Every structure is written in C-alpha cells, then in structure tokens.
Amino acid sequence: EGMALPQRILFPPEKICMEWQQRQRAGAGLHNLGNTCFLNSVLQCLTYTPPLANYLLSREHSQSCRQRGFCMMCIMEAHVNEVLHSSASAIQPWAVIRVLTRIGEHFQLGMQEDAHEFLNYAINAMQRARPSGSSDLDFSSQETSIIHEIFGGLLRSRVTCLSCKAVSDTYEAFLDIPLDIEAASSVPEALQGFVKPEQLDGENGYKCSKCQQLATASKRLTIHRSSNVLTVCLKRFDPFSGEKISNVVQYPEYLDLGTYMSQAAGERLLYSLYAVLVHEGSSCQEGHYYCFVKGKASDGRWYKLDDASVGLCDIKTVLCQRAYLLFYAR
C-alpha cells in the first residue's frame, strides 16, 4: 500500500522460521578483549534471535556467497556456529573484532562504544551481504532480504489537513523502534507517546497540496507493517550531553502491538521477549554492558550473559532491569 512492488524477492518470507530448529544447552560466553562488552552483549542478543540463528546455523549463506573480502553475514555465520557448538565455556570473538572498522570505520578497538550504534552498524553490514547480482536492486526489492524479513517493518506517517480533511501518507522502513522514556514509566506508555498525534500549526504549519493553504494539520506516526523481530531502543542517553537517563521503565514479557498499528482493528499482535541488553554507568562513553537471553532449550530458561560468564536466572530478574535494548519475537 503506497509502496512499489519488489522486482525481485531475495528471501521468501515463508522460509523465515521463528521457532528454534535445534534444541541444545546455552552456548559459550565471550571473553572481553579490552572494552568489548558493548560488542559481546550485542553479538549474544543476535545469536539468540531464533530466525537469524536458524538461518546462520543452516550455513545456507556461505554455501552460495560470492562476495570477495569482507562479508558480515559469513562472519556472523561462523561466529554463531562457534558460540552454539563450542564445548568451551567462553570463546574470543576475534572474527568480529578483526573487522570492527569494516563494520563501522569510526569504531576503535579498546574504546567503549554505544551498543545500540554497534547493533545498527552490524545489522546494516549484514543487510549489505546480499546474493550475487543484487547490487543494483530497486528499494522495494532490497527490503526483501533476510535481514529485512527478520528485523524490518514499515512506519506510516499520516498528515491530515484540518481545513479540507485531505490525507497524505508517507512510508518509512524501520529496523528498530526508538522510544522516548523521559515521560514514560513503561514500554506501552512510551509506545502510546510514539503514536500520539502531533499538531502542525503556526510556523510549523502544513502546506496542503489539495486546498493550497498553509493549514493547521494533524500528523500521526503508526506501525504500518510489523516486523518478525521487534527491537526496541529505550533512549537512555541525552543526544546533546550524552548523560544517562536512568528512569525505571517497566517492560512486559508479552507485548501486544495491535493498538499501535495503522489498522488498529482491535486484533492482537503478540510478541514475546527473548533478549534484554543492559547498560550500567552514567554516560554512553563509560560503564558496562551485559545481557539476558532466552535459551534454546525446550523449557525456555533465561541466562545472564556477562562477557565470559554464562549463568541461569529467572524471568523475575530479567523483567526488573534498567533495560537499554529489548528484543521481542512475533
């Protein structure tokens, strides 16, 4: 709706498998190789993302990859297979650290980096690892990659002219949803703020293409197409000062996205929490990152992964963290 149809499907959506294909114990921890906790915690959250792990464990990508030199998907495939099949209690993630500047040229080994930023760069690097002959694809076709099929969704921005009632829609792809938390005590409340209509008037008025006036208008953002994996970033760092916003923000184990959709027809759209990434410290330039993930065993036990340490924990502990990133599976 409002979008061009893709000329080529890179990865058929019906091939996405949301349930673990192989059941086994928790994998290895990751040694900290000098301020690499930001990277370790992100890698562990990605490793326990079921549809991504299923794809990487199948080794389907490397069997057909023709990319020369750096390929983030090949690196992640090797990393996830090593973590989940290793008999060691922890491994050194050199495969990823060696290519840190290829993932993002400003990343420096030994420097504390922002975990959300690293996640974005890592996902975008995987997105660039597409099948051969797909470099000059149209925008809609690019969004049929395995990465977009897992993490990608669509936001709709609807502007309604309050003079003539004309409606104008624009669409934007997303790979995660950033939420303001300064005035919110829970994720549902922050999502309510995310989709709350905003009034455009005065100097910020809207030039309506129908009635040709600088009119007062209402603008509302909604989730138009939801993703298979929903990544929520609680905006804990002030963009100007870098200072930490340490509010307690409650988040549910099961999240219903139904009311935040463009067609909020009362239908439930349920997501289940499977990973939580936490930052401890007073600013994004310092502190420590670790995460909690839901294991692959059939009993769905939770683990705390803190660099090389892997330990069992309960859902109550998971739900009372000052989370930075939340990962939900549909």
Which positions are annotated as active-site residues?
Answer: 37, 288
Q: How far apart are CA 72 and CA 99, in angstroms?
A: 9
Q: What does the DSSP assignment read for 207-245?
A: E-TTT-SEE-EEEEEEEEE--SEEEEEE--B-TTT-BB-
CA distances from 141 to 14, 63, 145, 245 (A): 16, 22, 8, 38
Q: How far apart are CA 109 and CA 71, in angstroms?
A: 19
Q: How far apart are CA 192 and CA 152, in angstroms?
A: 20
Supply the angle between the helices 72-85 and 37-47 in degrees, to the nearest 10. Answer: 80
> What are the strands of the beta sheet with 167-174, ordered from one edge?
167-174, 153-161, 217-225, 198-200
The position carrying tokens 């989709």 is 195
Q: How far apart are CA 142 and CA 122, in angstroms?
A: 17
Measured in whole angstroms, the distance separating CA 169 from the mean position of its chain's CA atoms is 24
Q: What is the token pair recorded at 17? A: 């498998």
